[in-house]
Amino acid sequence: MGVEMIKILLIAPYTGMTQVVKQLDIPKDFQLDIKVANLEESISLARKAEDEGYDLIISRGGTASLVEKNVSIPVIHIDITGYDMLRVFTLIRGAQNTVAFIGFENICRGARTLNDILDYDVKMFTIHKRDEVRLLLNKLKNENYEIVIGDVVTVEEAQKIGLRGFLITSGKEAIFDAFDEARRTYHMFQKVSYKTDQYQQILQSLPTDIIVINQQEKVLFNNLSPNKERIVKKLLYDKELGKNIHQALSLNEKQWAHISSENEDFELQIFPVTSRETKLAGIHLCSYKRKDESAAFRMITKKIHQPILGGSTYAQSIKNKIYAFANTTDNLFISGEFGTGKMTIAQSIHFQKFESNHPLFILNCEIIDSDDLKTLKDRWVSVQKGTAIFEHVESLSPTNQKLLIELFHQIPESLQLIFLANEQASSLIEKKHIFVSLIEKIDPIFIHTQPLRNRKEDLREFISYYLSEFHTRFGNETLGIRSDALEILMRLDWPGNLVELKKKIRELSLRAVGYYIENKDVKEILHEDALKEQNKPLENKGFYIPPGLTLEEMEQRIIQKVLEEEKENQTRTAKRLGMNRTTLWRKLNDK
Ligand SMILES: Nc1ncnc2c1ncn2[C@@H]1O[C@H](COP(=O)(O)OP(=O)(O)OP(=O)(O)O)[C@@H](O)[C@H]1O
């Protein structure tokens, strides 16, 4: 592995320093560049160095202090050493003139000691601020001082008013000391930046949306997606939020804010962040909802636990399919009657695959519009993987189908699409309910769910599952079903499948007096259902007669509906309609 090079810019406040540096053996791990600059020039030079990726800057005295305020990389000061002072004191040895030494306290201290040891008569003048220099020099001139020892600024000013300036130059020892210091600082800085990077990463990957701002409400940090960032930055102009931030900081307490703008609703928590120097506020974006977001679009990020029940061959094959599809990225088309578990299977595949790590979008095709599809697209931009379930695909309008095809061209392939429909895709295509091109675009694998009547051996397991759910949710005490009661349920057709079963078991568990659902409970409930069914007005069975029909046309519709319900059985249909079979036959053939 090569040596890690430390890139350094040395800003020399006087030309001579470059000569000294050039004579030195530059450490092998240094990439050192030297530039001479006065105070003003040093600032832009240092900023440029930072932009160019220099790790450190080395400079001396006032230049170093000024540079330090203008860059965020470390600045190493070349200290004035005893040798440097000895050198300048040696230079003025024998001078008959009155000599003044001007410097900040830390320099003067050493110089004073040296002066005493050498028994010189140099007068020490301590300054506290740089702008004291000019005034002091004028005073010294009036007091007949001729020689002034000091740093670059002092010497330049002295020369301007006709005094002789002796610059305290830096010798190689001071420069070497600075090199050592530079290396130490570099390695320390590396460690600190590694830690800072780690913290940045941690904050960045927090699963919650966080923004940190200072008292001026300038954003210092956020881990939001670009989309949300834009929205939240706009939000910071909100006066209400401003008040909440102020309160959080002044009371040092968490504040909740509910901000409602024209298009969006936000739930925010503002918390004070204790920092050594400044007060900061953290904002946790708890929930964000676009007001135009309709019930047609849902985003689920929390895992739904739904065991796949049943011991039948069919149930087993579904479990295997869930396992298999959770390991592929294939799109799916799940068809089956109402309430046969299409959604449950689709969700199980998603959660088996992603747990809660990636979102699940659910779109109800009965009510979606172009805005919902746009919401899906927008949301999709901020996530990498996930699943989109489209339910009731049979209800998709041709316009929405075209929009979907367009959308699927833009949506990344890492989004798995699952279509749910009440009929097989081939039959929907045949009836022209969905476009072949839509199915071709998603190119799915097909799954067909079985109605409950084809898997009655699973009934008992479903019943005990539902009973335990009611026990947990509602405190029902029913624990099981008697075998003869179950037998009756096994004989039913269950057109409403699991939804119907669940509803019936709920009713039965409320009716049961003891711990078991009895045969009589089932009989009673079935009897009541039959009565209800007989008395139900036709429109309540989902039957609708459009306005503008003639009496005859209305009659035809009613006959057709009842015939359909009685599975084309004319005897039963005639009975329900209160007419004899011949009349019914005539009416059917008259149309
Ligand atoms: N394998 C299963 N194990 C346990 N419960 C199930 C199972 N499948 C479905 N259910 C339950 O049956 C009910 C109907 O399931 P689901 O909504 O998945 O059916 P669906 O076919 O998508 O219905 P729809 O056609 O109305 O959209 C839900 O209460 C669900 O929790």
Taking the chain (591 residues) in consecutive chunks of 10 residues, what is each chunk's mean pLDDT?
A: 84 92 92 93 95 95 92 94 89 82 91 90 92 94 93 91 90 94 94 87 83 84 77 77 87 83 76 81 78 68 81 95 91 94 95 83 85 77 80 89 87 84 93 90 94 94 88 77 94 91 91 89 88 61 67 84 79 83 77 52
Output phi, psi for 100, to 5 deg. -115, 140
The CA 499 to ligand 1 mean position distance, Å, reads 7
In a domain, 200, yes or no: no
Nearest CA to ligand 1 atom 16: 341
Residues 336 and 423 grouped into a single domain: yes
Q: Are residues 71 and 46 in contact, defined by beta-carbon separation less than 8 angstroms?
A: yes
Query: Which residues touch 450 (CB under 8 Å, ≥6 apart)?
Result: 314, 336, 340
Distance from chain centroid for Cα 180: 44
The CA 297 to ligand 1 mean position distance, Å, reads 19
Residues 24 and 108 grouped into a single domain: no
Structurally, how many domains does the chain consist of? 6
Q: Would you say the CB of residue 306 lies under 6 angstroms from ligand 1?
A: yes
- The 3-state DSSP class for residue 126 equals strand
Residue 520 CB neighbours (<10 A):
14
Q: What is the pLDDT of residue 536?
A: 58
Residues 255 and 132 grouped into a single domain: no
CA distance 550 to 539: 17
Q: What is the pLDDT of residue 125?
A: 96
In a domain, 477, yes or no: yes
Q: What is the position in ligand 1's atom list of the atom closest to the CA of 309?
A: 3
In a domain, 199, yes or no: no
Q: Would you say the CB of residue 309 lies under 6 angstroms from ligand 1?
A: yes
Q: What is the pLDDT of residue 67?
A: 94
The CA 353 to ligand 1 mean position distance, Å, reads 19
Query: Which residues touch 27 (CB under 8 Å, ≥6 apart)?
Result: 179, 183
Residues 444 and 324 grouped into a single domain: yes
Residues 526 and 551 grouped into a single domain: no
Residue ranges making up the domain that contains 441: 297-450
| ipTM of the complex as predicted | 0.96
CA distance 548 to 477: 53
- Single residue among 274, 290, 306 that ends a domain in this structure: 290
106-113: long-range contacts, CB 8 A cutoff, minimum separation 24:
107/80, 107/168, 110/80, 110/82, 110/85, 111/85, 111/149
Q: Are residues 475 and 317 in contact, defined by beta-carbon separation less than 8 angstroms?
A: no
Token pair for residue 527? 């009897």
First CA to last CA across the chain, in angstroms?
93
Task: Give the CATH number of the domain where residue 505 resides.
Answer: 1.10.8.60
Token pair for residue 211? 């923004």
Task: Give the CATH number of the domain where residue 361 resides.
Answer: 3.40.50.300
Residues 255 and 396 grouped into a single domain: no
Q: What is the pLDDT of residue 126?
A: 95
In a domain, 266, yes or no: yes
- Single residue among 263, 290, 317 that ends a domain in this structure: 290
Q: Are residues 3 and 29 in contact, defined by beta-carbon separation less than 8 angstroms?
A: yes
In a domain, 554, yes or no: yes
Residues 164 and 278 grouped into a single domain: no
Residues 367 and 500 grouped into a single domain: no
Residues 415 and 519 grouped into a single domain: no
Nearest CA to ligand 1 atom 8: 341
Residues 322 and 444 grouped into a single domain: yes
Query: Which residues touch 75 (CB under 8 Å, ≥6 apart)?
Result: 46, 56, 57, 58, 59, 64, 67, 68
The CA 467 to ligand 1 mean position distance, Å, reads 16
Residues 433 and 464 grouped into a single domain: no
Residues 417 and 491 grouped into a single domain: no
